[in-house]
Every structure is written in C-alpha cells, then in structure tokens.
Structure 1
C-alpha cells in the first residue's frame, strides 16, 4: 500500500524481498538458511538487543502515542512473545499485574483427563497463553476482533488501568482513536 500510495521505493524493495522469502525464492546456504542484508533489516544477536533497537529511549518515549504506534515486534511463537514482553515490562516503571485465562469447567463431564497445570503450560500456535502480564502505560495490540471496526485485530491500545475484573485502555489507532474502552478478564486472552 505504501508503494502505491506514496511511491515509496524502499517499502517496495522491502515488500518484494518479503514475497521472495515467503515464496522460497531467496538463495539459501548449505544449511538451508537465507542471508538478510543490512539494507533489508538490522540484524541483532538477542531478544534484549532487539527490544533495545526497536524501543530506543523507551523511558523517554513511553508516553508518546505516535512513537509507540510506529513500533512493534511480532514473533511467530508464544514463547518468544512472552520473553520479549517480559524484557519490555522490565524496562517500564510500575507494578506488574498478572491475568490468568479461565481454566475450570462448569460441567465435569466436559473435563479432560489431563491435569489443569499441564493444559495451562501449553503454548499452542493461535491460542493465547494462560498468563498475561501487564503494567499501566504499556502498549498492547489486539490479536482478535472484539468489536469491529473499533476493536479489531491489530488495533493498538495503551493500558490506563488494571483492575481485578477489568482492564481499561485508550485506543491509539484506527477509527476510534482516543476512545477509552473496558475489557473484562474473560476477554483478557484477546490482548
């Protein structure tokens, strides 16, 4: 879209390279790995270094909505997302609040023969983690449509209050930018 709307050549090169990667048209080495060049991305050696590069001067910019909306780290696995989120939360001042998904059943006939602890430890693709840790002031991104077009997949929000039974956030992007919303713990696994 940026290429078409703004004649952004750099975005066009980036999009073309992404398509080559996705289509398997990149040159691979003997181990089947591709080499990413500096003109395509900034290579880092660890998750901590990635957080430091993407969220440079986090302490100074944590309250700048525009600055936050220009940055995101996406990862394919929940374990990686959890590590990166914990690195970022460690950098933000304030108390961490932990939310847990619902792990009980009303009808015991619908229960499984697996222990709840085992089920809660699973990190499955497309399924939110059992634990969600947040702090007031941090940005979050919705991963599911809750109330389209206001609250849809990819909407950025800033957490403004963490209650026992409710999360309050301000919408940072989209048609409802600036609106405050309440999210109940039953929906907490959608953040």
Structure 2
C-alpha cells in the first residue's frame, strides 16, 4: 500500500508539473531566446530522441503493438497523431500498410462548375489531371485507399440528427461501391453503425480562383489528422509530428 501511495504521489506531481508548464506556455511566460528568436523548449521526456525513421518511431510511440490491437475500437478511439498541415500526414499511408486486410480504392470525379462565369475557358485549361492533384481543407483526396479497421474522419455534415457531423471519427467495417459502412468512434453515437454515401462537394478555399465540383466520399484517414481537425476530439494518447515551427502566443 505504501508503494502504491508513493506511485500515486509521483504521478500527481508529474501531472501538476505538466499542467503548470502548459499554463506558462499559454501565458507566454516560458520562453528561451535561441539565435535571437524566442522559442519554447519542449521538456526532454516528451520527445522521441532516438530514431531512424521518424514516422515509424512516432507511430510505435502513439500506437504501440498496433498489429495486435488494430481491430480494437477502444484502442483506436483513444489515439491520434497530430500534424500542422495536410502535407504532413503521410504517416496515414504508412499505417495503412500495417493493416493486412484487403484494400479498396475509390477514385473521385472532378469538373469545373458550369456556374463559374469563366467556365468555357477554364474547362480547356484545367484538365481532369490538374483538378485531381488539387488538395485543400475539408475536401477528400482524388484517391481514397481504405481497409476494414481503418479509422476515418467525416469532412462534411451529412445528418446531424443521426450524429453524422463534420469532424466525427468512424472505423470502416465494410466497403460498397456507393456507400461505406462504418462504426462511430467519437461523439454521443459511439458504436453505432452508419453508412457514408458519395457526395458532390464544392471546395470553398479562397486560394483557388475558380469553382469546381468533386464527387467522392467525404472522409479522410484519421490515424493522423491536422491539429485544427483535432479540436473537439477526446484523446488519451497523442503524438505531435512537428516538422516546422507553428506555435505563437495566444
């Protein structure tokens, strides 16, 4: 009992120290000047210092014994790797290779919106190959490779009354040609079976100077997700894959 009490005291102290550090980071009162630039030093015990392959190392740290637990809904529900941008979530593809179930690929259909006043000119300039390479927030990629047991995140509201809302996480249970069957991993509908249809989506990214439509399943693999998309998620084990500085005070 004494050993258990000491262990609990040590754990409480670690949590208290970590909470105080997080608060100081948020207040902007913990910083060090490195080469004339103010930077926050991350405590060494939070870092993965020894690795050969950075993606394999953070996957092993965040998803230990993944092959054994890849069909455990609670295991997948509690974990995620976070990255700053869409370009940095390549660990999703790495983790799909660790799942040995048969894969299913879905290709999207892209076309210029006829409502765009420059439609007649754009359809000759922006070929299907060009449109297929466009990646932007809240829109699925040209090709989605899925396997049974892979967690996905919904990118659009489909049926809010049924819990199918933007940002909800699901685990794929069956593939169809026009629908994907999945169980909910987050929110109030955990464990419920849902059906995800193909949808026609129009990206609203202001960086794209024209409108086009994309018909695809409104989902993306969510072993790894952007920090922005992680807002609202409840996670017990989180890995941060930071290939560039991204924090600012406030």
* 2:97 aligned with 1:95: no
Structure with greater contact order relative to length (CA < 8 Å, sep ≥ 6) = 2
1:128 pairs, out of 140, 143, 149, with 140
1:12: which partner in 2?
19
1:110-162 superposed Cα distances (whole Å, 9 cap, x missing partner): 36222221222133345432222111111122243333361223322110011
Cα distance in 2 between the residues matched to 1:164 and 1:80: 29
Unaligned runs of 5+ in 1: 1-7
The yes-or-no answer on 1:177 pairing with 2:190 is yes
Tell me whether 1:168 sits opposite 2:181 in the alignment: yes
Alignment partners' CA distance in 1, 2:91 and 2:36: 27
Note the alpha carbon deviations across 1:22-52, whole angstroms, 9 max, x for none: x69633422745432234x333651221112
Q: How does 1:74-113 map to 2 (within 5 A)?
A: 74-81=82-89, 83-105=90-112, 107=114, 110=119, 112=122, 113=125
Deviation at 1:59, TM superposition (A): 1.2
Please give the TM-score of this superposition, normalised by the length of structure 2. 0.61
The structure that has the greater radius of gyration is: 2
Instruction: Name the CA shift for 1:95/1:36 in 2 (closer, same or farther; >3 Å).
Output: same
Pick aligned residue for 1:59 from 63, 67, 84: 67
Shift of 1:88: 0.4
Q: Which runs of 5+ in 2 are unaligned?
A: 1-14, 200-215, 221-250
1:69 counterpart (68, 77, 81): 77
Judging by fraction of residues, say which structure has more strand.
Answer: 2
Contact kept in structure 2, 1:137 and 1:160, CA below 8 Å:
yes
Residue 154 of structure 2 is matched in structure 1 by 142
Question: What do residues 81-116 of structure 1 show as CA deviations (whole Å, max 9, x unaligned)?
Answer: 2x2111100100112222233313574973622222
Structure 1 residues 87 and 169, CA, compared in 2 at 3 Å: closer, same or farther?
same
Equivalent of residue 26 in structure 1, options 27, 31, 35: 31
Q: TM-score, normalised to structure 1's length?
A: 0.77
